[in-house]
Structure 1
């Protein structure tokens, strides 16, 4: 029997509609995956056995960090064109993978909720080749993205109204994508600022020490390789299509959209995004099993190409930062 589609999950609207209608026409009652989660678990309680953690991710990310350090040593005297080509095609891919691992570890999925310190230390280790200290801050703000998905002010992944206004033309949208890692990094601090924590200071101290060691022993080219990889691969890069594919309204009013394609292998199944928001405490390598068990709940439009996502985002006038999904119009919400 076909599952009932959740009203909240199919009830998002584009940010520009939110901007152009009065505030009193909008209400945020709950994030759109909450009622889905409850219904799916009622029907398929066996999904609970998939919850937990998987420490094997620690071995994968350690290999990635060590490879990046080795490549830094190999490139210490390389020419600049080699530095930037490898940063885009190789180093940036590894750094983006490490960024996705930080997302996974931020949900305590490496060592479990009983060992938060171990998860934080591993995320700081993952952070090292990325150059900018972000692992601990990311975890802090990402919790709100799940808790308030679609609430304009508290979901810091939602672009600001200024972004929505400025980046509408294909050329400006390409520019927005290119600088997206910088915008994405600083947006939380002015949109929904939170007090600085001791762990963030530890993260920053470890990162600055690592950056200094790379600079001192291997030189500016090696540090540039790492930084350029981060900025390029999180910006105008095929892997960065996942930032757009997840919650922009390509498919009607669908709050979250999954991507099922080969690049999930590199980014720890971040494309299984409906599944992840439904069950954020299931490790990445078990998310495909969720889709198999509760197949009718994942019978929604999905993406198969992040390159196509980026192409459509840039050249479709209906897409852009203004097309990020937000919820909800009062007249479209009904009680469950």
Structure 2
């Protein structure tokens, strides 16, 4: 789900509850945070036994005032605006991040999250090697960058695109005042020969910065470059101590989805968004283990990618056992899977220029593989579809790819098809996201054979939801479907029978079955052909039907019979296009309500 859709689904009462700020809760959190800093600072000043060790937790507490600064520049830490602004200036001063400048920086980050061209957080690349990672975590580049920003702003040379012209004077004044105060504090320390600030503030900050870097890298590191805030930001599941230290900012995808929600309401927002989160980590240790591990795996991934290109034959002029180029094969497959797709959409899917797609489509038309049809809704738009010749080409490509994949899987002994599919899908989606596309890449649904865990309940529920308007809601129809399927699944593995399902993260959202034992006289029974609404228009219904027909032809059935309900016009069109004819029509009541049923027959050609 896109974060915009999620927000649109919230009621006015939910919005009011989630965005309610509180001075009391903010002051309580602030008192706890600064109270610990004061306590450790006092212990360091008194040089209690082991006091140097205390500089580490002291530094962590001070540097994590960054999260306090973050919350206050959003003006959500407290109900009173003046408290937010005052605390923001204090926190920013303590960690060398001027509040006014950071507000401009951070709001640009929110407007352009994970947009490589405009997100200021992406101005510096994330570490791509172990050495870069170590340098990044050390915090040294951060300190250098913050000092440069302070002096540049103070000199009136601020050229950051996210700082508006009208705000440059304020940013300059802020930097000048900050540098003057730092100079005064340094001077007082030198004159009084006091090392208090050095050991209670400066050195702890140097020691605490790496912990903040470790924390911040997880917020967006390795997240896709997409516009959906539920996917371009990471929520990290961690313990209560870290959440309180960071003012609940580990709920980062939630924060980016709804920035006006105060820190103390983020757990409530998380409960609403949890099932929609696209990127999460089970702790910061797990995130960094994966992040560092990727440095070792990256060369292998790139090498495997190059080998895949070679093995699939993309370096040849023609591929997939056809006389078509790679772009031609992909065009045939996309048009077959998405009938009616426009040339513009096809160009987007194939990542081809307009002129290139025009030449490609012209060549496919000349071959007789495709046809362009004017849209009934908009005469200016032409949809693409396959001709009979094109469907034959589609079937050849599909068979070639299926055979190639099966042959490869048969050579793999230490891995499952499921794990390989998941890994390839994740990698493909990540590649699509890394190119800055704003929408989530088209989900790749998997078509599988045979029994799947939970499919009886999934398919029965699909039938009930889909046909309830015709048959009537109630337990009778769903119970009949469930019982019949349960009986069939006991023998689905018999040679004459088979079932094909479309999976979405383990859930069956489309299915078709052939029962070769239910009817006599060498007749196959096509059963439980159903698609979720999310699959409509993607051509997957035809994909399932073709697999069923191929099975029946392979088993030598003379006829295929199916029964359906009158009024399902899209399904009837699909049946008739694939050789079925209406053989009978009658009123039946086996589903608990009198409905008109139809019987279709396809005879072997």
Q: CA 1:315–1:134 in 2, change beyond 3 Å: closer, same or farther?
A: farther
Residues 183-236 of structure 1: per-residue CA shift (max 9 Å, x gap): 66368767647325144545555565566666666822532431232233222x
Secondary structure at 1:231 match in 2:
helix
1:122 aligns with 2:87: yes
C-alpha contact (below 8 Å) 1:51/1:283 kept by paired residues: yes
Within-5 A mapping of 1:1-336:
5-6=1-2, 36-37=3-4, 39-45=5-11, 46-49=13-16, 50-55=18-23, 56-76=25-45, 78=47, 82-83=51-52, 85-88=53-56, 90-112=57-79, 116-127=81-92, 130-160=94-124, 163=125, 167-179=127-139, 180-182=141-143, 185=146, 192=161, 194=163, 195-197=168-170, 198-205=173-180, 219-235=194-210, 237=211, 239-249=212-222, 254-262=231-239, 263-298=242-277, 300-317=278-295, 328-329=436-437
The separation in 2 between residues aligned to 1:184 and 1:168, in whole angstroms, is 19
C-alpha contact (below 8 Å) 1:44/1:294 kept by paired residues: no
Number of the residue aligned with 1:17: none
Structure 1: any 5+ residue segments left out of the alignment? 7-35
The separation in 1 between residues aligned to 2:31 and 2:187, in whole angstroms, is 20
Secondary structure at 2:30 match in 1:
helix
CA shift, 1:148, in A, is: 1.2
C-alpha contact (below 8 Å) 1:92/1:233 kept by paired residues: yes
Secondary structure at 1:75 match in 2:
helix
- Rg larger in 1 or in 2? 2
C-alpha contact (below 8 Å) 1:136/1:200 kept by paired residues: no
Which is richer in strand? 2
The separation in 2 between residues aligned to 1:59 and 1:218, in whole angstroms, is 35
C-alpha contact (below 8 Å) 1:241/1:307 kept by paired residues: no
Q: CA 1:304–1:211 in 2, change beyond 3 Å: closer, same or farther?
A: farther
CA shift, 1:277, in A, is: 0.4
CA shift, 1:78, in A, is: 4.0
The separation in 2 between residues aligned to 1:331 and 1:176, in whole angstroms, is 30
The separation in 1 between residues aligned to 2:191 and 2:48, in whole angstroms, is 19
| Higher normalized contact order (CA 8 Å, seq sep 6+, divided by chain length) | 1
The separation in 1 between residues aligned to 2:162 and 2:7, in whole angstroms, is 34
C-alpha contact (below 8 Å) 1:258/1:271 kept by paired residues: yes
How many residues get paired?
284
C-alpha contact (below 8 Å) 2:243/2:249 kept by paired residues: yes
The separation in 2 between residues aligned to 1:216 and 1:68, in whole angstroms, is 25
Q: CA 1:111–1:245 in 2, change beyond 3 Å: closer, same or farther?
A: same
C-alpha contact (below 8 Å) 2:235/2:252 kept by paired residues: yes
The separation in 1 between residues aligned to 2:286 and 2:273, in whole angstroms, is 27
CA shift, 1:132, in A, is: 2.4
Q: CA 1:190–1:224 in 2, change beyond 3 Å: closer, same or farther?
A: farther
Q: CA 1:215–1:138 in 2, change beyond 3 Å: closer, same or farther?
A: farther
What is the TM-score normalised by the length of structure 1?
0.69
Q: CA 1:286–1:316 in 2, change beyond 3 Å: closer, same or farther?
A: same
CA shift, 1:44, in A, is: 1.9
Q: CA 1:287–1:331 in 2, change beyond 3 Å: closer, same or farther?
A: closer
Q: CA 1:272–1:332 in 2, change beyond 3 Å: closer, same or farther?
A: closer
Q: Comparing 59-68 with 40-49, which one deviates more in the overlay?
A: 59-68
